[in-house]
Each structure stands twice: as structure tokens, then as C-alpha cells.
A and B are shown apart, each in its own frame.
Chain A
Amino acid sequence: MSPRDRRPDGGVLSQVFDVSGAQATRERRQQLGRDAVMALNAIQRNARNYGEDNKVFGPPIAQLKAAVMELLGADGLFELEITDDELWINRQAIRFDAGSVPLAANLRNELRERGIRAIVTHLPPPDTDLRLLVRLLSPAVPRTLGPRGDPSQPLKTFVLRTGPVAAAPDPASERMTRYATVYASAAFFVNHTIQQLRVGGELIPLWAASRMVQDLVDLQGAAPLRFLRLARMKPDQPDRYWGIHAANVAVLAVTFGARLGLSKRRRHDLGMAALFHDVGIAAIPANVLAKQGKLDQKDRGFLDASPLFAARAILRDREVHGAALERALAAYECHLDMVPKEGAPPEVGLGGRILAICESFDALTTDRPFRRAHSPREAIGIMTTEQLFRFDPALVDLFVKVAQPLL
């Protein structure tokens, strides 16, 4: 089964990928993957003109062997797989720079033409095996290849997976799983992002979040009521609060946006802003977040700064297109009071005003270390009375209609 087979929307999460979380390891694996691909490519090109014993194969074989040995040492496995459009090394897609792309494509085509789907070994390969790879990549390759390559001269350690390369998975998986998968992925994304921001680690790329929100918007359109009810989900453990809270806010905000008749583009902006609106929490020490009593001035300072931390986490990406700015501003502005205790009212865009309402509703209906969850009706009551200074009153009235199925 190729990684592609294991990555349909529904089944993606059932696959245990043996991928280390350490960025250094991933980067090294990437480099070794590229080394192996370039070595195999050089072997394949030279095999058109030279016999397998020619000295010209010495350097690429040595390069390939070094990469294989290091990967075996790190992962206990060397597995080079081809899918319909990519090459994977030890279950990680290899990224190529523009100059290497044609070489990688060439190797992929050559392997595909020979029916080879993957080259795998768990053992250090002897030089004879590496020389046999030369033969497998030469124009005179036998028509039928088995798991050990040419049956007349079998490989000792390498195993070939053969057969047609699997096509891209069907995106339409079972609906229920799809709803749950998108929601869970969004929650995971947020928790992971907060964790990584805390330690200065590598973040999940933004496009992944964008795809999730695209799915959220599409799913909302397909079955609005069922979609809205996803917001009833509550965390079972305190450390999962932020992910689930953000996913709920995204669900509420996308629904609210749809009811207001906002465009698909704007609903996407809202969903993205919802996922990011609390990532500033990463800058708040865990003990402050878990505090049950009254916060002192220092703790208060951390909390006050967290909206700016959220904006920072987005603005640091150096993106200045409207969607990124909307995301950053909504994440910051949703924490501002519409009628502040002192000073002039802040400038808050529509995104911030919608998120402020959605995020308060979800926060009030969730158990927190410092209080029990309110019922949805109680939450609406609080929002329309004692907390009304925080919101755009006209939008709160509309939100009550949107949240009706949850009350």
C-alpha cells in the first residue's frame, strides 16, 4: 500500500506514519532522500551508455550507499516510494528545488515504466546489490520484475514493490467521517501550532489550515445544521481546550458568516481567523492559564498581551495580502472591547466583531479551571447583558438567531 493509498480524507488518520517530530531529523531525511534520488538518476542516465561495471557508476553508487546506510541507521529502513506525482523517502514526501525537479520527474517516469513502485531495504546492501540496481535501471531491464528484481540475478537485500502506481484517492469519503476528520484536524492544527509556538518549533504549513477551512466552509454549505452542531463538542482534557475552542469558533463563525450572506472568500477569512485567534496563548505561562483564583497584575499583563501575540504569530509570516491581514486583525481585534473602560472605542473590523461573539459564546459554554460551563441560554444571557460592552449589539442579536439550534 503506498502512502497515497493511505491518505484519503477519511483514512488519513488511521495511518500511523513513522515520522519523527524532530525538525532536524526531517530535514536530514529530506537531504538523504534527495541524495538517493539524484544518485539513482545519475545511474539511470549513465546506464544508457555504459556497461554496469563501468567506473562511471562509482560515485553515484557511493552516494546512494551513503544515503541508504544513514537512513538505515536513523530509521532502520530505506524506502523510496513513487506516487503518481511525487517521490517519498521513508514515508516523507521529498521536496525538490526547481533545478532538481526535472531529474526527479525523470527518475519517477523511469521507475514507473519498469513497474517499480518502491525500493525497500531493512539491511545494509552489499555492493553487488547496488550494482544490480544499475542493471535494473539500464535499457536492457528484463520485462518482468519480481520483488527481488530480475529473477535470474535476484537482489539480496533490496525488495521492489511492483505494480501500477495508485491513483490519487477519491476525495469523497463517508460524510460523517469527513465532518469529524475536518473538525479534528482543525483542532489538532491549533493545539500543535500553540505547542510549536511555545518552543519555537516548526509549524504546520498555512496551506494545510487553509484546506481545512475550505472543507469547513464547503461542509457548512452542504449541511448547515449538522455542521453547526459540531460546536457542541467540548474538550475532555484541559490541555486540549484551545484546539477544540478554536475549531468551535471556526464552526460558529463560518455559520454566522453564511447566515449574514458573506461570500465564500469572506467565510474562509473568518474560519482562518478563528483558528488563529487564540494562538497568542502560547506566550502565556501554563501556570497562569491553569490558575483558579484571581490573577495578579503580572498575570493580567500576560493575558492582556495575548491578542497582540496572536497577531504577531500571523504577521510574522510576512504576508500582506488581504486575507492574511484580515486574519491577523480579526485575531487581535476580537479581544478588544467595543466600549472600553477608558479611551476611544477601538477600530474593529467585521471579522473581529463576529469572532468576539463566537469566541465568547464557546468560552462561556465550556468548563474552565476558574468556573463551570454555562448553558448556551445562560451564555447568551450574559453576552446580551453584563458583557454587552464587548460586542457589536446588532450582531449579538443576529447571533442569537444563528445559535438557536444550539440553545
Chain B
Amino acid sequence: MPETSQDSALVRDAFAGLARALKRVSIYRHAPGQHASFVEPVLATFREVLSRRPAVTISVEQGSLTFEGQPVYTEPPREWGLCFRLHRDGIRTITFKSGLSAEELLDFMDVALPDSQGGPATSREDAVTELWKADLASIEYTAIAGYRIEEHGGPGFSQAVEALIERVQEMTQASGSDALTDHGAPPLLWDDALRKKNDSQSWGELARRAALTVLRIVERDLAGWDLEALQETFWRLVDDGAERGEVLAVVAALDGARRLQGQHAAGFRTALSRKMMDEKRLARAVELVGLSDKGAAQILASWLQLLPAEAGPNIASALATATRGDVIAPLAHAALVRLGTSRAFVEEILHRGPAAVSLGILAQLGAVQAVRPRAELAAAALGHPETRVRAEAMRIVPIEPQVAVERLRPLLEDADPQLRMTAADALSSCISVAEPAALLLIRAMSRPDFEQREREELVVFHRALGRLQSTTGHSYLAERLAHPKKGFLKKRRNEQEQLLAVQGLAEEATLRSLRILEDGMVPGRGHPPSVVNACRAAALRIRTPRGARGGGNQ
């Protein structure tokens, strides 16, 4: 193979490898530690060709890179493409020279990395400037010459600038010939340590101050026709900041936006919040909470505070997949305060979402001001597969008795005794709908298997019935005390039923229940001694003022 075509093949290989490396770098942008390994094979090929010739010069066309007239890399001419970008920015040739290092190749790739598709290229400067700044010893470039400001400068350009050039030349000539002689670079005034101390601004620091400057401009009503552009810049600072994990900068920017005053403040926040509610962006904010950086805990709260009412579904969507407690709580609160748009989604999560999330939402239900929706939301969790969620929901549902009566009935017959008891207990607080609630309890207590249940449950149900102070419940308990059902083990069963009825009547604690209990104490009634004693104790308890009883609720 002739030497030139062999070189061409090597250069083609090198660029094929470079294209692969660029792709991998663009995928693993956030893992710079791995990038060096991506360029190793490319570097080896470059070194081989550079051992055969001192330099390799590549011409840049809109859709290709050519070496000695032969294309070594081609791509469709797209705005975000490598060749198009380099050519558009004015680069015409790139020369790789011997001595090329992996570090230089990586720096070059940083410049050559195609723009992200679709988005405007605002996260870096033009390719010529970037290559110039990179200052690579073994990679040279040529670009179109001149500033071409004449294209924009208008008719006065030449005249104005030529006159100035003349004056500058006159001035420098007048300085005398000695002025034209430089005696080498003057000594440096700072050493490395001083330089590091005085010039250590990170992107996050710059972004934070820039965001606050944008807000200052808007607040002082100085944005004029650039308001929209400034809004966009501000959003990019926030968005890029979130991407880079610069939580302090993002938190400062968002808090500033929240406090923003002035006639454009509301519009500014609205425009910002519409972008912030995007699902991917919100997901990123959630991710950032997991960082160990200072301010990470705050970022989600700051982010959520700015979201508009219509962000409900997106917040709920983030909530559905959340796992950390410090994420669930703020997301749940944010979703609940946007119930107008999030309700269906929240109900769905309460009904069948992860238990931790459902519990998190229940814990934040206080964010919903109106009682009925709060109770209805809690009721949505009554069908949750996990017992602890249902139990927690049952404790909340009775805040709206009507909802409790409507929704707790099935739980009185749940397979889990603990849940049945919690449901009965919850129903007992529905005094305002005492009659229907009592009917529900009596219906459950009238089931044939009810008497076979654990004594604890029987007590809970009877007490719950009494606590309702309903006429129906009272009659049921009084009847049980006076005329216990007959059964196979007659005596014992009668006694048990009567004792339960006493407990219910004691919980009722009304004048009428007191009368019944006192009547039960009369020896002529023929109740067993244990029932008589129980009636006495219950009557005493009702007569004793609550404060004097001691020992809390019995």
C-alpha cells in the first residue's frame, strides 16, 4: 500500500475512533474520570500516524473532515453536528502535531463535542474562542481571518476605523523608537497561592450572582424589552445549575425569585414556574435532595414553592416514585396544596401507591384546609393493600362523620381484627351522625360469627356503640343487659353479654345509661353478682366527675 494511502487509512481510523469517543463522552458527560480511557485507542492511532509524518492537517467542511482531499469523517450537515459547528464558527483546518497528549485530545474533544440536539448552544462559546482558550500545544487550527464587522458596521465603518487607526499609529510613532522595544515579559505580581486565593470563582458562584443580578434588573424595572430574554437566562441558570448539582446557586436563585418584588415579579415567576414544572426538571430537583451538599435539603422546598397550580399532576407523578422521607413530605405537601389539579393522582397513590408514600400523604393532609376533601382523600386510602395505611386513614376519616359512615362500613367486616377494631373506634367519634353509625356497628355486631371473636374486639365494639350515645345503640345495649340472648351454654353466655353491655353503657355515660346501670344493681333483677358489681362500678364512674377519676380514660 502506498505510504499516503496508508496514512489516509490511519487518519480515517483515528477519526472513526474519535467519533466513537465523542459519542461516549457525550453519554458520560458527568463522569469525566472515565473520559481518558475513551481516548486511549484514538491517541494510539494518532501517534502511529504522527510517527510517520510530523503533522496531520484536516480540512473542515460543513459536512465532512478531509485529509489530503479524502473524507476521513462525514456526517449529515445538521446544526448540532461537529463539522457544521466547527465550520460555522469559522474553523477551516485543524492540525495535529507530534507530541499530542491524551489531555490535549480531551480538551479538543471538549470543543468538538457536538451541541446538544434541539437546544440552543448557550453553555459554551464559539469553537474558535474555545480552541484559542484551550491553548493546545500540539493541536493547531486556522480560522477565517478578520472580524468581519464591516458587514454589520454600516457605511461609517471604514471611515471611522481608518481615522482611528491613523491616530493610533501616529501616537505609537510619536512615542519614539525606544517605546517600540520591549524587553521581555515583566515579572509576575502574584504567585500561584495568591492567584488561587483571589481567583477561585466556580461556575456555581458566578451563576448565583448572575441570577441575583437578573432579579435586581427585573425588580428595578430596568429589563425593558429584554424581559423575556432575561427570564430565559435566569431559567437557564437554574436549569444548568440543577444539571451541574450546584444546589446553593439554585436555592439562592429560586429564593430570590420567590421574594422578587416589582411590577414584573408575578409574570417573571409565572414564566419561570411553567418551565420548572417539567417532569424531567422536577425529577432532577428531587435527585438533588440526595446530594450531600449544603443546601440540598432546601432545594426541593424552594423548587416546589414556585410551581404553579397546574403542576399538580407532575408533582404527584414525582411523588409516586419517591422513596426518601425527606422527599415524600415536601412533594406530598405540594401536591395537596394543588389539589385542584392533583386530586385524582393523589387519590390513586393513596389507594394503591407505595405504603411509605401513602403514609407520607396522610401525614401531610393537614395542608388541605377543607374538611370534607381531607376526609375523602383519607378515605381513598381505606382500600390500600397495606394494613398500616388503612389504619392511619381510618384515624383521619372521621373528621367528616358523613364520609366515615359512608366509607368505614366495609372495614367493620375486614378480615383483620385490628382493622375492624380501629374502624369501630373511628366510627364511635361520629356523634353528629350517631344513629346511622350505630346501625352500622349493630349490623356488624349482629353477624353470626361476631360472638366468636376475641373478647378485646367485642369490648371495643360495645364501647364504640355506647360512645355514640345514639338511641338505637342505647336500646341495643339496654336490651342486652336486661335480656341477654339464650344459648347452649346459657348462664355463662348471658353473663358475658351483660358485662359487655355494661361496658357500652358506661362509655355512653348519659343519664339514661346511668338509670339502666342503677337498675341493674337492684338485687331483685336477678343478675349474676359479677354483672351487679360491674353495674355498680360503671354507675360510680359515671357519677364521678371526669377530673376526679384519675388514671385517664378507663
Q: Which residues in A have some Cβ–Cβ distance to B below 8 Å?
A: 7-9, 12-17, 19-21, 26, 85, 92-93, 98-99, 101-102, 105, 168-169, 171, 176-177, 179-181, 183-185, 187-189, 191-192, 200, 202-208, 210-212, 214, 221, 223-226, 229-230, 232-233, 236, 240, 244, 258-262, 264-266, 268, 283, 305, 308-309, 311-312, 315-326, 328-329, 332-333, 347, 349-350, 398, 401-402
Contacts and interface: CB of A to CB of B under 8 A. Distances in A.
Given A12-B146, A233-B167, A17 B190 contact: no
Contacts of B171: 232-233
B125 A223 contact: no
Interface in B199-253: 199, 201, 203, 206-207, 209-210, 213-214, 216-217, 220, 222-226, 229-230, 232-233, 236-237, 240
Interface stretch (B149-157, B323-331, B382-390, B465-473): B149-157
Contacts of A98: 62, 77-79, 81, 84
A207 B133 contact: no
Given A13-B162, A188-B160, A349 B129 contact: no
Interface stretch (B179-187, B257-265, B355-363, B405-413): B179-187
A169 B123 CA distance: 31
Contacts of A205: 152
Contact of A325 (B156, B195, B207, B226): B207
Contacts of B344: none
B128 A211 contact: yes
B213 A321 contact: no
Contacts of B217: 308, 311-312, 315
B61 A92 contact: no
Nearest to B126: A207
Nearest to B207: A325
B27 interface: no
Contacts of B54: none
Contacts, number: 272
B220 A308 contact: yes
A17 B222 contact: no
B179 A315 contact: no
Contacts of A184: 161-162, 164-165, 168
A258 B186 CA distance: 9
B255 to A, nearest CB: 16
A158 to B, nearest CB: 25
B167 A316 contact: no
Contacts of B79: 98
A180 B233 contact: no
Interface string B53-67: 000000001110000
Contacts of B120: 318
Interface of B: 61-63, 77-79, 81, 84, 87, 89-90, 92, 120, 122-126, 128-129, 132-133, 135, 142, 144-158, 160-162, 164-169, 171-172, 175, 179-183, 185-186, 188-192, 195, 198-199, 201, 203, 206-207, 209-210, 213-214, 216-217, 220, 222-226, 229-230, 232-233, 236-237, 240
B84 A101 contact: yes
Contact of B183 (A8, A225, A266, A398): A225
B133 A183 contact: no
Given A185-B147, A320-B240, A214 B129 contact: yes
Contact of B123 (A8, A211, A309, A320): A320
A312 B77 CA distance: 34
Contacts of A192: 149, 152-154, 157
A168 B145 CA distance: 7
A402 B126 CA distance: 31
Nearest to A309: B222
A311 B232 CA distance: 15
A329 B206 contact: yes
Nearest to B142: A168
A7 B210 contact: no
Given A101-B77, A318-B236, A188 B198 contact: no
